[in-house]
Structure 1
Amino acid sequence: MAKETGRKLIAQNKKARHDYHILDTYECGLVLTGTEVKSLRQGRASLADGFVQIDGGEAWLHNVHVPEYAQGTWTNHSARRKRKLLLHREEIDKLEAKSQETGHTIVPLALYFTNGRAKVEIALAKGKKEYDKRQTLREKQDRREADRAMSAVRRKQRA
């Protein structure tokens, strides 16, 4: 059996990009059990309430929901257990220092497989205020309307 290559997305946290200003991103590995990997390979996970906490010099991923594996037995994992993240010491120290500043947190952005290994993309983020969220939505809507207008002009030119 050939080993899979490339990046296969499992779950994405779109709400994180809406609620936070993303300052810096990191790719890190996950310590998983066998049934967790099998459940992830079926494309089932949720990052909605997830966050990262640095505890005792180690990074831990909390509140990420990986449902129990359907064919699992008594060895099945619990769905919301905390999972250890695999990062370099310098990265952990940097994240710990930055996350202790007021308003900063570490959130998961995406969960995926790269060359057969489960990875999570985490971000150092700063919470947005309500008016920042409205401003971001307005900019996104303006960009969409401008793109529509440009494509309409192009269509008329072709015809």
Structure 2
Amino acid sequence: MAKEKGRKLIAQNKKARHDYLIIDTYEAGLVLTGTEVKSLRQGRASLADGFVQLDGHEAWLHNVHVPEYSQGTWTNHSARRKRKLLLHREEIDKLESKSQETGHTIVPLALYFKDGRAKIEIALAKGKKEYDKRQTLREKQDRRETERAISAVRRQQRA
């Protein structure tokens, strides 16, 4: 069997990009059990309530929902257990120092397979205020409207 290449997305946390200002992103490996990997290969996971906590120079992923594997036996995993993240020492130290600043947190952005291995993209983020969220939404809407207007003018010029 040929080893799969490339990146296969499993789950994405779109709400994180809306609720947080992303400062820096990191790619981390995950320590998983066999049934968790099988469940992820079926494309089932949710990052909605997930967060990363740093304990004693180790990074742990909390509240990420990986449903139990349907063909699993008594060895099946619990759906919301904490999972260890595999990061380099320098990355953990950097995250630890930055996350202790007020308003900073570490959130998961995407869960995917890269060359057959489960990876998670985590981000050092700062929480947005309600007015920041509204402004971001307004800018996005303005960009869309200008693109529509430009494309409408181009269509009229072609006709």
* Aligned: 1:132 with 2:132: yes
The 2-side partners of 1:95 and 1:63 are apart by 19
The C-alpha deviation readout for 1:74-132, integer Å capped at 9, x for no partner, is 00000000000000001001101111110000000000000000000000000001100
Aligned equivalent of 2:48: 48
The C-alpha deviation readout for 1:28-56, integer Å capped at 9, x for no partner, is 10000000000000000000000000001
Give the TM-score, by structure 1 length. Answer: 0.99
The C-alpha deviation readout for 1:123-142, integer Å capped at 9, x for no partner, is 00000011000000000000
The 2-side partners of 1:91 and 1:129 are apart by 27
SS at match of 1:29: strand
The 2-side partners of 1:150 and 1:36 are apart by 47
Q: CA RMSD in A?
A: 0.6
The 2-side partners of 1:151 and 1:46 are apart by 37
> Which stretches of structure 1, 4 residues or longer, exceed 2 Å deviation after superposition?
none
The 1-side partners of 2:126 and 2:48 are apart by 17
* Structure 1: segments with no counterpart, 5+ residues: none
Aligned equivalent of 1:104: 104
State the shift of 1:146 in Å.
0.9
Give the TM-score, by structure 2 length. Answer: 0.99
State the shift of 1:158 in Å.
1.7
The 1-side partners of 2:45 and 2:59 are apart by 20
Aligned equivalent of 2:67: 67
The 2-side partners of 1:155 and 1:40 are apart by 44
SS at match of 1:28: strand
Aligned equivalent of 1:158: 158
The 2-side partners of 1:80 and 1:118 are apart by 17
The 1-side partners of 2:27 and 2:145 are apart by 34
State the shift of 1:151 in Å.
1.3
Give the percent of matched residue pairs that are identical in Structure 1 and Structure 2: 91
* Aligned: 1:4 with 2:4: yes
State the shift of 1:147 in Å.
1.0
State the shift of 1:153 in Å.
1.3
Aligned equivalent of 2:21: 21
